[in-house]
Structure 1
């Protein structure tokens, strides 16, 4: 009798309390959290490309600071194992510094810039769709829109102005994992490598009229995000 009652109770709980199913075809997943862009910033030397000093190699290199913003993921599951995902974020802002150049006035903080890094990826989830733990890998394409470049106060006082940086197209790769807390709510962690290459230029008419220097920068950041999500 007791065994029958226990079996009946277990069956009732199984019916009433549904499993926290993970991702299945047609699901829409929204994730939000803190996202950090950590540039590697491997650059060429700084060279003068315009003006009477054109061709001069000033040496040195450029570096960029990290920044953390609000990250957003929008994903749509094409099948139980394959999805399309868009990465978005509030604008990142980075300080740009020059070091080791032959022109001492150029060393230090040159200025800052902002960028938006929308990235569209195809992601693959290898585990069964009923698993509450869902690791995944992905690859896609990134477009980095760079804007609001401006020189810092010290660089401006040294005669630098008209700081510009080119936008970038590149590949992006990611790994990540979702853990389903309920049928709709999840926690997420992810890491990405994004190929971002830009060319920055800055003018300095105080050195010589028409002088412009350039530097090629492989930003190539590692991008980390931790957050929560909701599955529709």
Structure 2
């Protein structure tokens, strides 16, 4: 009986150990990420012919986006971990609102946003369910900026006073920025290697959009600040080394 009892205890210990997330382990997760911008924007300011004016009631909204992402999480201790995040750059679409709503979709851009976070994982290292919270920062920049016809041709600058004088070929730029992040999630450990996870994050992200139009009467600059502030959900499958 004593031998049987010892064998049962050792077996239970072995079963618990295979699920451990402990110091020195590296976990790689891959999965689906959804970005839901909690967006807002300032009115468009147009600078031309030596003066500036704000377009009343103008604004823009940012679309939701989906992408594939990859995280690498290193456990410094049984509870503290450092996570890095990379993903296939999702395409964000910008649509006019208010007085710009007749223009429809204004353009799109790919957003690059690698991030690093510090996390605290609750519970024992051998627990199957391990919730966690974290905070960190991302550096964000935009590539592959594309403008739809009303913007690319400068037609959005047509006015009763000046007609089409301010229209012309238009290019766009979006400013780079750092974005603070907070997140929370849950890991379910299937065995000593495999797990599934779910997390939600919020980032304070804004960018300044600048349109430069080469018109017949000179360069026209139009700009606005857009707050994207995405709420990000991530569902993934992980492998621990």
Q: TM-score, normalised by structure 2?
A: 0.85
Give 2:163's aligned residue.
none
Taking the aligned partners of 1:16 and 1:22, their CA distance within structure 2 comes to 10
Q: Kindly tell me: are residues 122 and 45 of structure 1, through their superposed partners in 2, closer, same or farther at Cα, counting changes over 3 Å?
A: same
Query: Which whole-Å CA distance do the structure 1 matches of 2:101 and 2:197 have between them?
Result: 46
Q: 5+ residue gaps in structure 2?
A: 156-167
Give the counterpart of 2:73 among 66, 72, 75.
Answer: 75
Greater shift, 6-15 or 135-144, is seen at 6-15
Shift of the 9–83 alpha-carbon distance from structure 1 to 2, 3 Å rule, reads closer
For structure 1, which runs of at least 5 residues remain unmatched after alignment? none
Q: 1:167-182 alignment to 2 at 5 Å?
A: 167-182=176-191
- Supply the distance in 2 between the matched residues of 1:189 and 1:230 (Cα, whole angstroms): 14
- Post-superposition CA distance 1:168-205 (Å, at most 9, x none): 11210000111000111000000000111100011344
In the alignment, which residue of structure 2 is the partner of 1:145? Answer: 141
Q: 216-225 or 16-25: which moved more?
A: 16-25
What value does the CA root-mean-square deviation take over the aligned residues?
2.4
Identify which of 52, 77, 87 aligns with 2:49.
52
Cα displacement (A) at 1:155: 3.1
Matched position secondary structure for 1:79: coil
- The superposition leaves residues 72-105 of structure 1 with CA deviations (integer Å, 9 ceiling, x where unpaired) of 111111100001100110011111112223x687
State the match for 2:198 in structure 1: 189
Matched pairs, number: 227
Q: For residue 19 of structure 2, give the secondary structure of its aligned residue in structure 1.
A: coil
How far off is 1:61 after superposition?
1.1
Closer/same/farther in 2, CA of residues 152 and 36 from structure 1, 3 Å limit:
same
SS class of match (1:155): helix
Q: Describe the superposition over 1:35-70 as per-residue Cα deviations: whole angstroms up to 9, x where unpaired.
A: 01111121111111x322732111311111111111
Matched, 1:221 2:230: yes
Secondary structure in structure 2 of the residue aligned to 1:210: strand
Cα distance in 2 for residues equivalent to 1:188 and 1:11 = 29
Q: Is the 8 A contact 2:108 2:146 kept in 1?
A: yes
SS state at 1:203 partner: strand
C-alpha distance 173-8 of structure 1, shift in aligned 2 (>3 A): closer
Distance 1:207 1:225, change over 3 A: farther
Per the alignment, residue 92 of structure 1 pairs with 90
Distance across 2 between alignment mates of 1:54 and 1:42: 26
Distance 2:218 2:54 in 1: 18
Query: 1:117/1:104 Cα in 2 relative to 1: closer, same or farther (>3 Å)?
Result: closer
Deviations 1:98-148 (A, max 9, x none): 2223x687x321111111111111000121112111100000111111111
